[in-house]
């Protein structure tokens, strides 16, 4: 199975924060056309709070939840 690093090379993705899992490629139909879905997770350590802009000292700020996107 492909590793995260291999998928990034094949797709020429420069973002090191994307993590691909095994069996991440699925096929389906979208608006009557055959499509390929590639599932991955964006993970990073935030530098500051998005709302109050408090700095992230000693991992005091953490991300909560996920969001799906179609690219």
**Has residue 47 been placed in a domain?**
yes
| Global pTM value | 0.59
> C-alpha angle with apex 34: 28 to 40, nearest 5 degrees?
50
In a domain, 23, yes or no: yes
Residue 69 domain-assigned?
no
pLDDT digits (tens, 9 = 90+) for 18-70: 888 888 888 999 999 999 888 888 778 888 888 888 898 887 887 777 776 66
Cβ–Cβ < 8 Å for 20, 8: yes
For residue 38, give its domain range.
Answer: 7-62
What pLDDT does residue 3 have? 66
| Domain total of the chain | 1
| For residue 12, pLDDT beyond 80 | yes
71 pLDDT higher than 80: no
């Amino acid at each position: 199975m492909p590793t995260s690093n291999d998928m990034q090379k094949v797709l020429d993705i420069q973002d090191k924060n994307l993590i691909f899992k095994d069996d991440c490629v699925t096929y389906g139909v979208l608006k009557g056309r055959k499509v390929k879905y590639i599932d991955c997770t964006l993970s990073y350590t935030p530098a500051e709070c998005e709302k109050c802009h408090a700095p992230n000292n000693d991992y005091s700020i953490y991300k909560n939840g996920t969001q799906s996107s179609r690219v």
